[in-house]
Amino acid sequence: MKVLVAVKRVIDFNVKVRVKSDQSGVETANVKMSMNPFDEIAVEEGIRLKEAGTASEVIAVSMGQKQSQETIRTALAMGADRGILVETDTELQPLAVAKLLAAIIEKESPDLVILGKQAIDDDSNQTGQMLAALTGRAQGTFVSNLELTGDKVKVTREVDAGLETIELAMPAILTVDLRLNEPRYASLPNIMKAKKKQLDTITPEELGVDASPRLTTLKVVEPSGRDAGVIVENAAELVSKLRNEAKVI
């Protein structure tokens, strides 16, 4: 069984994001970048399937500028077998990413495609669902547990009402949640080995996909600051402020 995992290069989750002075986006120059945390979980799950003897190959795919090779190398160091970079300087939006992944799926024919449920830079939570629609494959979103049995995959999903368990026919597309697993750290020997693993670079044009943006960002602004809190002496004063100042009761 072949597993394809999508990984995205984003601003590291520990970095305080700054808005550009012209409000056209967020500052990425000289900012630490890393793999999207949800995608790390997807990579880990693909590797665990291989270690269990269920998967025969794990392919890591990323899209964007040349620096995205670093993100793929991280996945290779974790244990993925080879990587594919769709290199472009164009701003890639969820629909374009889904179309590019669909083209790669047509070439590679993976049995299982695993993505993070969303990327922490835009929080769109759209690519996996769009990809399933484009390819006509079964989909399981917000997966917190999965079991493979033959040509079926049973997944537990986190939904508003709690947990939902569904069974999907393979081939399938899954988007994974935080509670699925705990991603491993890449060891130094594996980081060195990853430098020699196969990493192919292609372009959207070679895949026959128009990756032009369909949406325009008008302005990006920081959230407004919160007012300082106050300390009240007693419950009566609290009720008075809630009624007269906050207007919530």
pLDDT for 156-191, tens place per residue? 998 888 899 999 999 999 999 999 999 999 889 999
CA pair distance 82, 58, nearest whole angstrom: 7
Mean pLDDT is lowest, of 60-74, 97-111, 123-137, 146-160, for 146-160
Which pLDDT does position 27 carry in this prediction? 84
Instruction: Kindly report the pTM of this predicted structure.
Output: 0.85
199: nearest Cα among 62, 100, 99, 105: 62
For residue range 4-40, list pLDDT tens digits in order.
Answer: 999 999 999 888 888 888 888 888 888 899 999 999 9
Domain encompassing residue 154: 2-221
Which pLDDT does position 36 carry in this prediction? 95
Which pLDDT does position 234 carry in this prediction? 92
Domains held by the chain: number = 1
Which pLDDT does position 37 carry in this prediction? 95
> Is 6 a member of any domain?
yes
Say which CATH number the domain at 79 has: 3.40.50.620
10: nearest Cα among 43, 32, 31, 33: 33
> Is 139 a member of any domain?
yes
141: nearest Cα among 161, 124, 156, 120: 156
> Is 236 a member of any domain?
no
Which pLDDT does position 16 carry in this prediction? 87
Write the burial class of residue 90 (CB in 10 Å: 0-12 exposed, 13-18 middle, 19+ buried): middle
Kindly tell me if the per-residue pLDDT of 81 is higher than 90.
yes
